[in-house]
Structure 1
């Protein structure tokens, strides 16, 4: 038993005058044992974007910039690569005569949202109205008005993005397939590389408490638990043999800091003992004959009652013993 449990040694006692103590009531509740692990405050949904047009970078979005539908992510030879919303990547050139498909409907939905759909029907067919809408959109952006759309002009991502890192700078030469930008969503989350030895802590839907930079404590909930273990290399200060799983946590409130990868502490529940009798740890007495007890305070007098101790959690300890029940007052050191 840890030293803090030893308030003082005491024999099995007869009633005495009440010492100068405070009191606490025995409560019946769940006791939760927790473990604190390190995590990072970051942004959801990272994507690595490539430049699919050869040429020279003439403009690139800055780190931390938020890019919305219809806005450029970068420009090659002054021609923009534009963000549009959708979950299907642009895997083929879209033009008159292309076969029907959901990627066509995705493009038409974006054109309409950007104000180019006055005569446009959103469906799977690339119609002449689609062709005209594409040409008008291209003209307004300074792109060649060909009526054809390919991956050098548009990238489809699920929603608004935040630029995490720019791998190219103005003046760089690029070619198709070269990584140019790393972007993410704008929703904040906490990511934990959890040691596989602790994977029992990570239960989807379980509540956690996150200590943010600055000391604020915010409740959160585990929303994603990785199914595949990965090696954590020595470059992160860990032995190369350490394996982890990815755990993502959604916070109950949006943190004020905009920092990416800011270190945080995550308090995760390791074990829960339901409906037990509990007292503050400092109420425990180490008995001379061995074991522990608590000092019951009744009618102006005290008596020591031996107690079996169980789980610890949140500064409380589980106790059982004859005469110990919910609501009974026990002595604790006066504050």
Structure 2
């Protein structure tokens, strides 16, 4: 469910304003309105903070899940328990008794790494070896004999064959530590290349929501957002990623539709403790104006010479004053104009 707070359409207001300006004898701005044409209602100019914002439903959890698929044939001989955190250099699972290890990096493992190979995946491996305490090589994009020596030392510590190369399927790269979400196979199950073994997420609690493509403007990477938790408390989130995804329809014949998936990080992780999976509300604020004069949008009059005006009511008389409009939000509009001050009474057309 989505509640739109800002973004007021002007078409109806303009039509009403034209009729109001005619009905009140609206001529040049500043002219008195015709006698006997008192408006049916009035409103007061107020000073406030005006925000163009939108609130959408979100899900509190650990963010989107990823799948670890085996690149090796064999038998699953070890799996970490669900909910376990796996860090750099530790086993995500084991095939035929040998571990498949987690390392950190953006480039997925896609080939065997060995002497003579070059590329960003080599540099990524070497960064991990250095972080794990292995030395004697230069961290660059070349897999040299020095790199192979470090890999042999690593393999010796792992009690696996000391080949000096990293075969495809023996490592999985992820952005950082992962939390095991679910098993796709059991220990003892046969596995084939490409078959899913388990799913995992990040370790920080996040909030994920989906927007319509037309609402992508709401979520810019790095922008703050207010998150309301299931217990009513609010925390500040920050837009981490904005990605286009294809979502399945809710019925068999609904097909698919394109959505914008937004993931928000929360610095105050303690505030999220106890919420593994829960609903939350996310309030995106597109723009905000503080300490401005506002009136109801319906108070605007479309002037014959162009632009907008207000009917100022004062001591039984009225006059039309041209105004400059600013932000429209929450059924109100920011206005500035001659004689428009906090507490001024303005007419409200029918």
TM-score w.r.t. the length of structure 2 is: 0.65
Task: Check the 8 A contact 1:224/1:248 in 2, yes or no.
Answer: yes
Structure 2 counterpart of 1:249: 264
Using the alignment, how far apart are the partners of 2:245 and 2:169 within structure 1? 36
Q: Find the partner of 1:217 among 234, 247, 251.
A: 234
Q: Find the partner of 1:43 among 62, 66, 82.
A: 62
Match of 2:108, SS?
A: coil
Aligned length: 287
Using the alignment, how far apart are the partners of 1:70 and 1:221 within structure 2? 30
- 1:99 is aligned to 2:114: no
Structure 1 counterpart of 2:308: none
Task: Say which is worse superposed, 39-48 or 74-83, in terms of deviation.
Answer: 39-48
Tell me: CA distance 1:111–1:180, structure 2 relative to 1, closer, same or farther (3 Å): same
Using the alignment, how far apart are the partners of 2:105 and 2:88 within structure 1? 10
Tell me: CA distance 1:195–1:179, structure 2 relative to 1, closer, same or farther (3 Å): same
Structure 2 counterpart of 1:70: 89
The runs of 5 or more residues in structure 2 that have no matched partner are 1-37, 39-43, 297-310, 346-350
Tell me: CA distance 1:112–1:305, structure 2 relative to 1, closer, same or farther (3 Å): farther
Tell me: CA distance 1:214–1:114, structure 2 relative to 1, closer, same or farther (3 Å): same
Structure 2 counterpart of 1:149: 166
Using the alignment, how far apart are the partners of 1:304 and 1:218 within structure 2? 49
Tell me: CA distance 1:225–1:133, structure 2 relative to 1, closer, same or farther (3 Å): closer
Q: Find the partner of 1:233 among 249, 261, 265.
A: 249
Task: Check the 8 A contact 2:113/2:168 in 1, yes or no.
Answer: no
- Structure 2 matches for 1:35-184, cutoff 5 A? 35-44=54-63, 46-96=65-115, 98-117=116-135, 119-184=136-201
Structure 2 counterpart of 1:9: none
Structure 1 counterpart of 2:13: none
Q: Find the partner of 1:269 among 271, 279, 285.
A: 285
TM-score w.r.t. the length of structure 1 is: 0.68
Using the alignment, how far apart are the partners of 1:106 and 1:214 within structure 2? 42
Match of 1:107, SS?
A: helix
The runs of 5 or more residues in structure 1 that have no matched partner are 1-11, 13-24, 282-292, 297-302, 331-335
Task: Check the 8 A contact 1:307/1:320 in 2, yes or no.
Answer: no
- CA deviation string 1:151-197 (max 9, x = no partner): 23212223222222221211111112111122232343322111335
Task: Check the 8 A contact 1:212/1:265 in 2, yes or no.
Answer: yes
Using the alignment, how far apart are the partners of 2:222 and 2:103 within structure 1? 32
**Cα RMSD after superposing both structures:** 4.1
Tell me: CA distance 1:216–1:68, structure 2 relative to 1, closer, same or farther (3 Å): same
- CA deviation string 1:30-87 (max 9, x = no partner): 3124332111123356432211222211111222221111100001122100112222
Using the alignment, how far apart are the partners of 1:307 and 1:182 within structure 2? 68
Task: Check the 8 A contact 2:246/2:259 in 1, yes or no.
Answer: yes
